[in-house]
Chain A
C-alpha cells in the first residue's frame, strides 16, 4: 500500500502543480480585468494626490459645500481598505455605504457605480487588494455647516439616488448595451454631463443634457443635443479617436475631459471604446430646433467683429486657418465646431484665455498646445475674437461681452 502511495506521489505533485498554475492564471486574469475596470472607473484620478502614492487618497476636492479629501483605497489594514470584504466593497460601490453602514458623500460616484455588476465589482476589489498597501490616514473633510452633518446625505439620496445594477435594453444591440453600461456605470459621465443643481444632485430627466461643473468653471456640454456635444453627426471613428487619442477631426479634448482621457479612456480596448461611441452617438438622436441668432446692435457688432477679425487674422489664423478650417486633428477646426457655438460661451472664452494641451496618450503621445492669451489680450479683445469665432463661417453662437471674459480670468486653473 505505501509502495503504491509512493508511486503515486509524483502524480499528486504534478496534479497539485497543475491546479496551482491554473489558479494563478485565473488570478492573474482576474487582476488584469480588475485593473482594466478600475481604469474604466477612473479611480486613480480622485484617489491619488499630486505627487502622492497611487490610490492612497488625500486629494482635496473643492465643492460648493466645502473641501472633501479622498480616501486611501490601498489594502493597508489600518488606513486603507485592507480589512474590507468583497461584500463590503460591493456595498460601497452599489449602495454608497461604508462597512459600518455610514453614508458616503456623493462626490464618490456611487449613483453611477450602482450600475456595476457584482462580478465586475469583485474584479476591482481583487485588483485593489493586489496593489502595494500605503499607510496613510485619511484626512478629515473640511465642510461648512450644515453640510458637515452626514445625515443630510439621506435627503440627497432620497432625491437623487436610484440603487440598481444596469438592466440591458433587449431592443438594442449587445454593443449598445455594453456602451451604456460603461458610460452610465463605471464611466460616471453623468457626474459632469448632467446639470448639478443647487442641492448638489442631478435629475434623471436631465441626464446627459450638460451643465456647468461647479467650482471648475468649465461647461460640460450636453451629450443629447447635436447643438452641443451631441455626437449624432460624428462618425464612429471620430468619436473613438476623440475618446481614446484625445484628438479627432472634429476637435480635441480639453479642460476636465483631458483628465478623463489621460487617466481612463485611453486605456480602454477597441471593443469597449467602440461600444461607448455607438451608445453616445445614439444618445443624440433628433436635433433641437435652430434658435435664431440674437442680433447685436449694429454699430457695436460691426466694431466688435472688425476688431475680432483683426485679432483672429493676427493671432489665430496661422493654425486655425483664415476660414476656420484648422489642420485637423492637431489644429482643430473652428468652423462648424459645436463646442464653440454652445449657448454657454465659457469653454470658448477659457480656451482663448488659458490655452491648453490635449492629454498625451498612446494614440497621440506628443500633442500640440494652444497658447494662452490671458496676458496678451484685454477683456475687450478676448470678447471680440471669441465673438468673431462664434459668429463667422456659418457658426451660430451668440456674441460674448468683455465682462464675461473678465469674470473667467479668475477661474481656477487647476
Chain B
C-alpha cells in the first residue's frame, strides 16, 4: 500500500494546480463585464451601433439614464427587448448602470451628411435654437443647453443620435407612446410640433458635429421655460 503513496502524491500535485486555476477563473468584477448585454445594441462604451434606432448612451446624465431604465423595467416605456432585460433588476443596480454609462466618453460618430434640403435644415435650426414664441414653443436649447449637452441630473444631450431615432422619440411623445413623469414637458413640447417640424429638428440635430466639450450643464444652470416632472427644480 505504502508503495503507492508517492504515486498518489504525484497525481495530487498534478491535479491540484489544474483544479485551482480553473476555480480562479472568474468573470471580471467590472461594470463593463456586467453590462455586456447592453453592448450588443448600444456599443461596448455606449457609443451606439450601426442600427439607427439604438441610441448613444455614453455621457448622458445619470439621472436621465436611470429614469429610462426604470421606465423600461416598469413598462412605462415600451420596447419588449428592453422591458425583458431589465424586468428583475433592482433600483440600486439600475443606478449603477446609469452612472456607468454617464461616465463614459467614447468619441462621437461623424455627423450625418444631411439628406434634407437647406430650407429644412434652417427650419430645424430655428426651432432648436430659438423655438417659436408665436406657438409657445420653447427652443430645445433652453433646456438641453446651447451646445445640446444636456443638464444634470435628468436632461439628456441631443448629439450623437441619428435622425431616425430623434424623430421616432418625438413622434412617440406626440402620440403618447413615450411618456415621462408629470408634468411631462416633452409631451407638451412635442405636441406643439408638426410632422414637418419633427423631420427638420431631427435632420438638424443629427447633422451637428461632436461638441468640443462633451460634458453636461450643472443642475439649475439653464432657464427651463417649462416644469418637468423628471428634472427637479
- A interface, CB within 8 angstroms of B: 50-51, 258-259, 261-262, 319, 325, 327, 330-331, 354-360, 365-376, 412-414
Known A372-B37, A376-B40; judge A367-B89 contact (CB<8 A): yes
Query: Are A258's CB and B88's CB within 8 A?
Result: yes
Shortest Cβ distance from B27 into chain A, in angstroms? 4
Bits for B66-85, please: 1 = Cβ < 8 Å to A, else 0: 00000000111000110111
Interface residue from B39, B74, B76, B93 paired with A360 (Cβ < 8 Å): B93
Residues of B in contact with A, size category: 20 to 34
Known A51-B76, A414-B83; judge A357-B37 contact (CB<8 A): yes
Known A330-B26, A357-B85, A360-B89; judge A371-B40 contact (CB<8 A): yes
Give residues of chain B (31-60) contacting chain A, Cβ–Cβ below 8 Å: 33-41, 51
Query: Are A259's CB and B36's CB within 8 A?
Result: no
Query: Are A359's CB and B89's CB within 8 A?
Result: yes
Query: Are B26's CB and A414's CB within 8 A?
Result: no
Query: Are B75's CB and A355's CB within 8 A?
Result: no
Residues of A within 8 A of B6 (CB): none
Shortest Cβ distance from B184 into chain A, in angstroms? 15
Query: Are A368's CB and B33's CB within 8 A?
Result: yes
Q: How far, in whole Å, are A374 and B84 apart by their CA atoms in the complex?
A: 13
Q: List 27 A-B contacts (CB under 8 A).
A: A51-B74, A51-B76, A259-B87, A327-B25, A330-B26, A330-B27, A331-B27, A356-B37, A356-B84, A357-B89, A359-B88, A360-B92, A365-B92, A366-B34, A367-B34, A368-B27, A368-B33, A368-B34, A369-B37, A369-B38, A369-B85, A371-B39, A372-B85, A375-B40, A375-B51, A413-B83, A414-B83
Shortest Cβ distance from B103 into chain A, in angstroms? 16
Residues of A within 8 A of B90 (CB): 360, 365
B118 at the interface (CB under 8 A from A): no
Query: Are B87's CB and A414's CB within 8 A?
Result: yes
B117 at the interface (CB under 8 A from A): no
Residues of B within 8 A of A412 (CB): 80
Majority DSSP secondary structure for residues of B touching A: helix
Residues of B within 8 A of A259 (CB): 87-88
Shortest Cβ distance from A45 into chain B, in angstroms? 11
Give residues of chain B (97-152) contacting chain A, Cβ–Cβ below 8 Å: none
Query: Are B22's CB and A325's CB within 8 A?
Result: yes
Query: Are A372's CB and B40's CB within 8 A?
Result: yes
Residues of B within 8 A of A356 (CB): 37, 84-85
In this complex, the member of B22, B34, B88, B90 whose beta carbon has the largest number of chain A beta carbons within 10 angstroms is B88
Shortest Cβ distance from B41 into chain A, in angstroms? 7
B86 at the interface (CB under 8 A from A): yes
Query: Are A366's CB and B26's CB within 8 A?
Result: no
Other than the known A356-B84, A376-B40, what 7 A-B pairs have Cβ atoms closer than 8 Å? A51-B76, A261-B88, A262-B88, A356-B37, A357-B85, A360-B89, A371-B38
Residues of B within 8 A of A50 (CB): 74-75
Bits for B209-227, please: 1 = Cβ < 8 Å to A, else 0: 0000000000000000000
Shortest Cβ distance from A364 into chain B, in angstroms? 10
Residues of B within 8 A of A331 (CB): 27
Shortest Cβ distance from B58 into chain A, in angstroms? 17
Nearest chain-A residue to B31 (Cβ)? A366
Residues of A within 8 A of B35 (CB): 369
Interface residue from A258, A262, A354, A376 paired with B81 (Cβ < 8 Å): A354
Shortest Cβ distance from B164 into chain A, in angstroms? 15
Query: Are A413's CB and B88's CB within 8 A?
Result: no
Residues of A within 8 A of B83 (CB): 413-414
Interface residue from A325, A359, A366, A373 paired with B96 (Cβ < 8 Å): A366
Residues of A within 8 A of B41 (CB): 372, 375
Shortest Cβ distance from A208 into chain B, in angstroms? 24
Q: How far, in whole Å, are A406 and B204 apart by their CA atoms in the complex?
A: 39
Interface residue from A51, A319, A360 paired with B36 (Cβ < 8 Å): A319
In this complex, the member of B22, B35, B89, B93 whose beta carbon has the largest number of chain A beta carbons within 10 angstroms is B89
Query: Are A413's CB and B26's CB within 8 A?
Result: no
Nearest chain-A residue to B26 (Cβ)? A327
Nearest chain-B residue to A262 (Cβ)? B88
